[in-house]
């Protein structure tokens, strides 16, 4: 129903719609566009009035002073009067006193602050343009005074009406104005400045409040900068003349003083010749520094000395500082149970803020913060991860365990690294987790249960005697007990409770354990034959020195750890000279790697023969052997020179070999081979070739270090080895070994006889025995010494 629309009808357009209609430009009343004339506020007026009065007063003063000058009145007297009295009290010699200023009666509208031209309107008697130079000090003080004026104005605002507003006397001006009447400044005033001052004053009046504030701020900044510069200059000057303290000063030191002195002494030591005081030696400064560092960081003198020997001074402070702070919390994913990504997701869901520990580890996570205790999450209890310092991953990575191997962790409690090994082995093969401490071993049991390690045997043997129970492992990890100087942040008691004896004790135990660890390994392992030695100490005595000791006593050589980072181990340290391959070892520091201080070395065992430890007699014999040849060479009377020895090459060649043996730590291997060759009766050439091969095999070993990422290649490389090829048939090698040992004994006795013969021939017997007894008594086996004496 309703009306039907008629679409046929055309609608006539009425024009643009309401919205489309163009609006006209807005029209404002003319009055609204003109800026209303700004009337100054009550306070503005008051301030302006005060300003004018101040200026007037100053002008008057200057005028008076100039008059006095002209009358040859002593300036000093005048200035004192001026300084010591308020403007009101100043008595002017000509008898006139400054009159209180009154606002003129006709004062109706005070112009804007910038309107200086209006100034003459104010009836200021006795002031002229000539005196405007006095505005200069005011200029300086403006920023300081303004605020005070504002405050006072605010207080009085209610009381004063516009009409009553008046400055009754010049005393009403700020007290600080007094300073402006300094005779010196009066003298310094230059008329030429007055124009610029006037300008500045004008500008000042023109400024908006915010601009004034900015100006104030800048002035303040300028002052502060000036002060800072002066302070810096003082500091530098102080540095240059660092005074060596006396005992009294030492007693009064605060921690901040000590810190400053540490800095100063380091600066002096850095440029000692220039900055020393002439009276004290470098030793004195070092001693002072040592004491200060001990006081500041709470170390005992002994340990501080050790660190001072180890690090450069700047690095030392960094190390000490880093040792004050605990390392970031890190966890290791137990890949037997979960992938790192899934673990990370689960923990993030619990409110843990974490990240991968770095490119170098596929299992580590660093925890920045957590809303739950990391040792009590369901994931932890389920054995999906273990809380472990990042540095603890490194020895296991260097060990590079293989599936189905026999691996020994000689000092395993509480089982952090052992469980890592098991995870990499994927629970295959056999993992022996040993620790002498029965209480600590329970932690290993607990961790293994939690983490699902099922390929392990747990034992509580003394590692040093481990070989009495079993040997033949493919790999051994010796994470040795140590002084813990790399983990001071975790255990600050190390700072004070370690002394030389502790280090010596640790070092001895470490050496014994390392020899046992090497002896537990089967050099003929088709996949391994490796020993990894690690400590959480940074001391050379517990690291490089221990490795060096083992290199000299076992058939092992150093190989690359396969770790991507870390500092190279020391090849030289103070008076010590270690094997050049000591650079393959790795050191980690809290200040450089943000992880606990750590040391990692990887050794490859190349023979199961255990060289006898050098007894004094043997050492002397060795010396004799070399010495006779040297003597022969020196005296040019070698009867056997050029001739072939019955059980060896010619003397010259042997002499050369002997020298090599002495300088090369890999000599043990050569020695063994050499002895076997002698028994075989091979000629010098064949011996040379064999020795060369042995050398080459070692070099290859070092050149192609096994890395954790090239695990299968590691084994392949070993198999390519001629020596390792022989290792492939163990029965054959065993027979060879027994034969070799027999041969060695036989050769030795024959060599002895030969030497005796040579000695007799040379008629040197007496000399040799004399030297022998001497060396025996001194226990010195220096070849040079013997040669000299001979």
Ligand X SMILES: C[S@@+](CC[C@H](N)C(=O)[O-])C[C@H]1O[C@@H](n2cnc3c(N)ncnc32)[C@H](O)[C@@H]1O
Which residues are near ligand X by CB under 6 A? 392, 410-417, 435-437, 440, 462-464, 479, 481
**Phi-psi bin for 562: left (phi > 0), alpha (psi -120 to 50), beta?**
left
* CB 513 to ligand X: min, Å: 6
- Does 413 count as an annotated binding residue? yes
State yes or no: 414 annotated in a binding site.
yes
The Cα–Cα gap between 81 and 73 comes to: 12
Q: Could you say which of 294, 482, 536, 557 is catalytic?
A: 536
**Residue 301: partners with Cβ closer than 8 Å, 6 or more residues away:** 290, 291, 294
Shortest gap between Cβ of 497 and ligand X (angstroms)? 17
The response to whether 492 counts as a known ligand-binding position is no
For residues 121 and 667, what is the distance between their CA atoms, to the nearest angstrom? 110
**CB-wise, 462 or 502, nearer to ligand X?**
462
Q: Confirm whether residue 479 is marked as ligand binding.
A: yes
> Who contacts 35 (Cβ-Cβ below 8 Å, separation ≥6)?
none
CB of 535 to ligand X, least distance (A): 7
646 is written with which tokens?
């019955």
Alpha helices of 704-764 — where are they, by DSSP H? Answer: 711-720, 722-727, 730-762
Smallest distance from the beta carbon of 412 to ligand X, in angstroms? 5
Please tell me what DSSP assigns to residue 5.
Answer: P
Minimum CB distance to ligand X smaller for 449 or for 720? 449
Name which of 137 and 401 has its Cβ closer to ligand X. Answer: 401
Report how far apart, in Å, the C-alpha atoms of 603 and of each of 107, 398, 471, 558 are. 102, 10, 17, 5
* Annotated binding residue 745: no
- Report the nearest approach of ligand X to the CB of residue 558 (Å): 21
Contact 611, 668 (CB under 8 A): yes
Map tokens 């050099």 to a residue. Answer: 523
- Rank residues 392 and 467 by Cβ distance to ligand X and give the closer one: 392
Neighbours of 41 (CB within 10 A): 10
3-state secondary structure 525-591: CCCCCEEEEEECCCCHHHCHHHHHHHHHHCCEEEECCCCCCCEECCCEECCEECCHHHHHCEEECHH
d(CA 476, CA 594): 27
The label of the residue with tokens 């104010």 reads 122
- CB-side neighbour CA atoms (13 Å) of 753: 8
State the Cα–Cα distance between residues 613 and 569, nearest whole angstrom: 26
Considering the complex, what minimum distance in angstroms separates the CB of residue 530 from ligand X? 16
Please, are residues 666 and 554 in contact by the beta-carbon 8 Å criterion?
no
Tell me the HSE value of 196 on the side-chain side, using a 13 A CA sphere.
7
The least CB distance from residue 548 to ligand X, in Å, is 21
Residue 411 marked as a ligand binder: yes
Smaller CB separation from ligand X, 379 or 435: 435
Q: Shortest approach of ligand X to residue 441 CB, angstroms?
A: 8
**CA 317 from centre of chain:** 8
CB of 440 to ligand X, least distance (A): 5
CB atoms within 10 A of CB 582: 23
Q: Please say which residue, 597 or 667, places its beta carbon nearer to ligand X.
A: 597
Nearer to ligand X, 535 or 585 (CB): 535
Q: What is the Rg, in whole angstroms, of the alpha carbon atoms belonging to the chain?
A: 46
Cβ closest to ligand X, residue 412 vs residue 708: 412
Question: Do 385 and 297 form a contact (C-beta atoms < 8 A)?
Answer: no
Contacts of 91 (CB under 8 A, 6+ apart): 81, 85, 97
536 part of the active site: yes
CB closer to ligand X out of 316 and 451:
451
412 marked ligand binding residue:
yes
Confirm or deny that 472 is annotated as ligand binding.
Answer: no
Q: Which residues contact 702 (CB under 8 A, 6 or more apart)?
A: 557, 558, 559, 560, 581, 584
Distance (Å, whole) CA 640 – CA 651: 6
Binding residues for S-adenosyl-L-methionine are 411-417, 435, 462, 479
Catalytic residue IDs? 536
Binding residues are 411-417, 435, 462, 479
């Amino acid at each position: 129903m309703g009306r039907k629309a008629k679409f046929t009808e055309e609608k006539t357009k009425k024009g643009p719609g309401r919205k489309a209609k163009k609006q006209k430009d807005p029209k404002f009343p003319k009055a609204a566009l003109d800026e209303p004339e700004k009337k100054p506020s009550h306070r503005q007026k008051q301030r302006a009035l005060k300003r004018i009065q101040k200026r007037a007063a100053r002008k008057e003063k200057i005028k008076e002073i100039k008059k006095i000058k002209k009358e040859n009145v002593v300036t000093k007297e005048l200035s004192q009067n001026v300084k010591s009295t308020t403007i009101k009290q100043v008595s002017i010699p000509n008898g006139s006193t400054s009159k209180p200023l009154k606002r003129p009666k006709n004062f109706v509208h005070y112009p804007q602050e910038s309107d200086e031209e209006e100034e003459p309107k104010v009836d200021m008697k006795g002031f002229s343009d000539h005196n405007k130079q006095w505005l200069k000090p005011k200029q300086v003080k403006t920023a300081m005074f303004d605020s005070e004026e504002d405050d006072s104005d605010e207080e009085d605002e209610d009381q004063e009406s516009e009409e009553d507003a008046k400055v009754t006397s010049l005393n009403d001006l700020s007290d600080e104005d007094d300073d402006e009447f300094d005779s010196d400044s009066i003298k310094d005033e230059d008329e030429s400045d007055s124009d610029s001052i006037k300008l500045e004053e004008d500008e000042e009046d023109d400024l908006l409040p915010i601009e004034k504030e900015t100006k104030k701020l800048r002035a303040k900044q300028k002052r502060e900068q000036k002060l800072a510069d002066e302070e810096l200059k003082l500091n530098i000057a102080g540095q240059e003349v660092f005074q060596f303290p006396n005992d009294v000063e030492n007693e009064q030191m605060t921690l901040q003083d000590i810190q400053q002195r540490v800095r100063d002494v380091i600066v002096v030591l850095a440029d000692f010749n220039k900055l020393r005081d002439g009276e004290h030696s470098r030793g004195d400064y070092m001693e002072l520094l040592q004491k200060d560092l001990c006081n500041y960081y709470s170390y005992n003198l002994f340990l501080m000395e050790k660190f001072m020997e180890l690090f450069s001074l700047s690095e030392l402070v960094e190390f000490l500082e880093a040792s004050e702070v605990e390392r970031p919390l890190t966890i290791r994913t137990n890949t037997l149970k979960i992938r790192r990504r899934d673990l990370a997701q689960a923990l993030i869901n619990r409110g843990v803020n974490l990240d991968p520990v770095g490119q170098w580890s596929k299992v580590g996570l660093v925890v920045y913060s957590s809303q739950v205790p990391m040792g009590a999450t369901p994931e932890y209890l389920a054995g999906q991860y273990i809380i472990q310092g990042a540095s603890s991953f490194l020895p296991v990575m260097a060990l590079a365990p293989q599936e189905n191997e026999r691996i020994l962790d000689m000092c395993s409690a509480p089982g952090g690294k052992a469980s890592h090994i098991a995870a990499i082995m994927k629970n295959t093969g056999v993992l022996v987790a040993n620790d002498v401490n029965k209480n600590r071993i329970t932690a290993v049991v607990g961790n293994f249960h939690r983490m699902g390690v099922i390929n392990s045997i747990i034992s509580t043997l003394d590692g040093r005697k481990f070989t009495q129970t079993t040997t033949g492992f493919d790999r051994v990890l010796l994470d040795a007990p140590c002084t813990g100087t790399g983990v001071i942040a975790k255990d600050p008691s190390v700072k004070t409770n370690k002394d030389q004896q502790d280090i010596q004790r640790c070092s001895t135990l470490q050496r014994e354990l390392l020899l046992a660890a090497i002896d537990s390994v089967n050099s003929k392992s088709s996949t391994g034959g490796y020993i990894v030695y690690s400590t959480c100490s940074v001391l050379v005595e517990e690291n490089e020195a221990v490795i060096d000791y083992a290199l000299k006593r076992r058939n092992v050589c150093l190989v690359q750890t396969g770790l991507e980072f870390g500092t190279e181990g020391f090849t030289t340290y103070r008076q010590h000279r270690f094997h050049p391959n000591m650079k393959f070892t790795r050191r980690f520091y809290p200040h450089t790697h943000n992880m606990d201080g750590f040391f990692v070395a990887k050794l490859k065992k190349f023979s199961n023969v255990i060289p006898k430890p050098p007894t004094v007699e043997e050492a002397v014999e060795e010396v004799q052997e070399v010495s006779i040849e040297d003597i022969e060479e020196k005296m040019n009377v070698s009867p056997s020179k050029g001739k072939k020895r019955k059980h060896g090459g010619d003397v010259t060649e042997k002499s050369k070999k002997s020298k090599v043996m002495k300088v090369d730590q890999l000599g043990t291997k050569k020695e063994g081979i050499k002895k076997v060759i002698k028994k075989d009766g091979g000629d010098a050439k064949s011996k040379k070739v064999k020795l060369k091969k042995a050398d080459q095999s070692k070099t290859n070993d070092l050149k192609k270090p096994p890395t954790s990422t090239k695990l299968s290649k590691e084994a392949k490389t070993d198999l390519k080895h001629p020596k390792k090829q022989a290792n492939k048939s163990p029965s054959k090698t065993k027979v060879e070994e027994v034969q070799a040992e027999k041969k060695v004994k036989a050769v030795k006795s024959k060599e002895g006889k030969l030497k005796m013969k040579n000695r007799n021939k040379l008629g040197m017997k007496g000399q040799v025995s004399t030297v022998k007894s001497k060396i025996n008594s001194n226990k010195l086996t220096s070849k040079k010494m013997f040669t000299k004496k001979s």
